[in-house]
Structure 1
Amino acid sequence: MGSSLRRAGLAGAALLALGAGGAYAAWRWRWRWRCLARGGAEPQAGGVGEQGKLPSKQILVLGLDGAGKTSVLHSLATSHVKRSTAPTEGINAVCVNTEEAKMEFLEIGGSESLRSYWKMYLPRVLVLVYVVDSADHERLPLAKELLHQLIQNDSTLPVVILANKQDLQGAYCIADIHDALALSETGDERKMFLIGTHVAEDGSEISSSMKDAKELIAQLVSEAQ
């Protein structure tokens, strides 16, 4: 898989750290997530807030329809599980305020009719979260193609790939997902991470792997310009 690939063992989660020399040993950093506000309006680009307001930090959540993006988004924002089976039609926006910034998660539906809008939002975000259904073997080639199209024009955008639905029978492990998505072909310049995740039962606390993913995203956002 190349010298740029480093395996990192996290409590309850499997993670592959790729690119940027793999020098990311100290990414685990506790972030206190405060209030949650939902809204359908399109947030403005990030920057220093006016009149003492928190700076806005945007994270784009993409992936094929059925990958579990909405359930993942709810888990990241609230630390509790709420499964969603209805496909996202348009944009699902969740705002999470922290002590340092206002985190704006933008999820765009993954159906074929909505994928043309994905690239429009890339220039305004600090981190890309790409969700893959680990058990959907048939569509992994399409997931790979779309991911490579997204990142080919920006070699520095940090990417967190969630190999979701690891709890399903027949789900590929993250090493297999790494190969299926041809991540060794994405280069060494960007910060790229692959984490195995799953969404537990409704009402329960999020899994340790999802906690690790949330902490990693917060760390990447805090370091982004």
Structure 2
Amino acid sequence: MDKSSKKREPQTRKRQVLVLGLDGSGKTSILNSIVTNRGNHSTVPTEGIHAVCITNGKSKMEFLEVGGSEQLRPFWERYLDRAFALVYIVDSTDHGRLPLAKKHLHQLIQHDSSLPLVVLANKQDLENAYHITDIHDALALSEICEERKLFLIGTHVATDGSELPSSIEDTQEFLAQLLLETH
């Protein structure tokens, strides 16, 4: 029996989730919360790339966050072709920059019309946060192609080390399910 006819052992699957959003939206805090299943005490802004991996059974997801500063945004689209999903995080309290967040989101999705999109409306626990429907309207999510899977989830990250909010758990479970569907 030659090597090519042997039954192969299933390998751990690794797929990349691209995490983008303007600086200060909470990308790193959300990623760290997903990995540790707890809120963070402090987070330093990402000035480049931040990657974390989560293994669930035979599936392995790599979350790749590219910083949201003005200097890094032009590089975002370079990472789209490696991703099985795009997570786009917006600060629900940063009303003045929602048009900028919308502009960058719409530029990104023009490059891949079928890439599943998960929009996290972060900081929903703060008093001046826009409601989820306001975020939907501000980002003009109704204009996004019908062929794309699109999900909008309101989130927040506890900073006191408490347990993970259910919205972050739901996002993690949704992405794991999406990963299974794409294989």
TM-score by length of 2: 0.91
Distance between the aligned counterparts of 1:152 and 1:83, measured in 2? 36
Counterpart of 1:130 in structure 2: which amino acid? Y
**Structure 1 residue ranges without an equivalent (≥5):** 1-49
Choose which of 176, 179, 183 in structure 2 pairs with 1:218: 176
The separation in 1 between residues aligned to 2:99 and 2:10, in whole angstroms, is 46
> Are the equivalent residues in 1 in contact too, given 2:77–2:111 (CA < 8 A)?
no
Aligned ranges 1:175-214 → 2 under 5 Å = 175-214=133-172
Instruction: Tell me the equivalent position of 1:60.
Output: 18
Map Cα deviations across residues 160-216 of structure 1 (whole Å, 9 max, x no partner). 000000011210011000000000111211000000000013321111111111111
Q: How does 1:64-213 map to 2 (within 5 A)?
A: 64-213=22-171
Distance in 2 separating the partners of 1:84 and 1:223: 35
| Aligned residues of 2:132 and 2:154 also touching (Cα < 8 A) | yes
Deviations 1:101-144 (A, max 9, x none): 11100001000011111100000110100000000000000000
Contact 1:70–1:84 (8 Å) recurs in 2: no
Distance across 1 between alignment mates of 2:18 and 2:144: 19
Shift in Å, 1:52: 4.9
Q: Distance in 2 between the 1:182 and 1:221 partners?
A: 26
For residues 44 and 52 of structure 2, the distance between their equivalents in structure 1, rounded to whole angstroms, comes to 17
The CA deviation at 1:51 is 6.9
Aligned Cα root-mean-square deviation (Å): 1.4
Runs of 4+ in 1 over 3 A off after TM superposition: 50-53
Whether the 8 Å contact between 1:83 and 1:199 is mirrored in structure 2 is: no
Q: For residue 94 of structure 1, give the secondary structure of its aligned residue in structure 2.
A: strand
Give unpaired runs (5+ residues) of structure 2: 1-7
Q: How many residues align?
A: 176
| SS of structure 2 residue aligned to 1:206 | coil
Q: Which amino acid aligns with 1:126?
A: F
After superposition, the Cα gap between the structure-2 partners of 1:222 and 1:64, relative to the gap in structure 1 and judged at 3 Å, is same
Question: Identity of aligned pairs, percent?
Answer: 62
Deviation at 1:218, TM superposition (A): 1.2
2:15–2:84: 8 Å Cα contact kept in structure 1?
yes
AA aligned opposite 2:37: S
- Give the Cα–Cα distance (whole angstroms) in 2 for the partners of residues 217 and 83 of structure 1: 25
Q: Which entry has the higher C-alpha Rg, 1 or 2?
A: 2
Which of the two has greater helix per residue?
A: 2
